[in-house]
């Protein structure tokens, strides 16, 4: 089972971006001493780890930067609804947050829309950036080669395969791809020799049950 470290979430920001954060492309608010941070709050009211984490970050930031304030803007919504609400906020300098949590796959579309700005100049002066692993850094890079985000966490994705299907397709039982091209080649082989097979992307996390 090959695994691939990824950085699914980055922290993105507006023109008032502080060192080490990604940026959206519009000014927000009239108070230069207040940084507004929009983030996705879980729809499960029992889950508040991100709220608690950001509250602690806010406390530390304000202590280290006297006179500066952080305003947290929780948006309680499912992922797609959250993305829609954030994009609506970023359309106007009056409502755009200074920092926003964003899924990495949304970066390029938001850059083209003019919502994000690169942070390379900030990151060049931020020593902590050197401590980030390369895969996390690359996840925050856009198609133009510039960095628009700083991941605050990573995860590891697993790729599982059915040995019986692989045998029918003539693929080895000890298949261990070294890159995406080998994965795509195996997928094409299966599609050709074992038609009707459907690959699945499954999120595994907190268990949820439906009533019978």
Q: In the chain, what are the domain boundaries?
A: 34-101, 157-201
Q: Which CATH number fits domain 34-101: 3.40.1260.10, 3.40.190.10, 3.20.20.120, 3.20.20.150?
A: 3.40.190.10
Q: pTM for this structure?
A: 0.66
Low-confidence ranges of the chain (pLDDT < 70): 1-30, 203-212
**What is the pLDDT at residue 210?**
44
Does residue 189 contact residue 183 with C-beta atoms inside 8 Å? no
Question: What is residue 56's predicted lDDT score, i.e. its pLDDT?
Answer: 93
pLDDT of residue 11: 58
pLDDT at 184: 94
């Amino acid at each position: 089972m090959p695994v691939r470290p990824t950085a699914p979430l980055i922290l993105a920001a507006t023109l008032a971006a502080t060192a080490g954060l990604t940026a959206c492309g519009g000014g927000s608010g009239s108070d230069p001493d207040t940084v507004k941070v929009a983030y996705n709050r879980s729809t499960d009211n029992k889950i508040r780890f991100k709220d608690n984490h950001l509250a602690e970050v806010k406390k530390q930031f304000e202590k280290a930067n006297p006179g500066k304030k952080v305003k947290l803007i929780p948006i309680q919504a499912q992922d797609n609804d959250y993305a829609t609400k954030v994009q609506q906020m970023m359309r106007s300098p009056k409502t755009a947050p200074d920092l926003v949590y964003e899924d990495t796959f949304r970066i390029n579309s938001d850059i083209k829309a003019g919502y994000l700005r690169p942070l390379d100049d900030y990151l060049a002066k931020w020593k902590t950036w050197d401590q980030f692993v390369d895969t996390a850094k690359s996840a925050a890079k856009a198609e133009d080669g510039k960095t628009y985000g700083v991941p605050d966490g990573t995860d590891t994705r697993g790729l599982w395969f059915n040995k019986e299907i692989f045998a029918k397709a003539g693929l080895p039982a000890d298949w261990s791809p070294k890159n995406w091209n080998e994965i795509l080649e195996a997928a094409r082989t299966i599609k050709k020799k074992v038609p009707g097979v459907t690959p699945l992307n499954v999120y595994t996390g907190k268990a949820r049950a439906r009533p019978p």
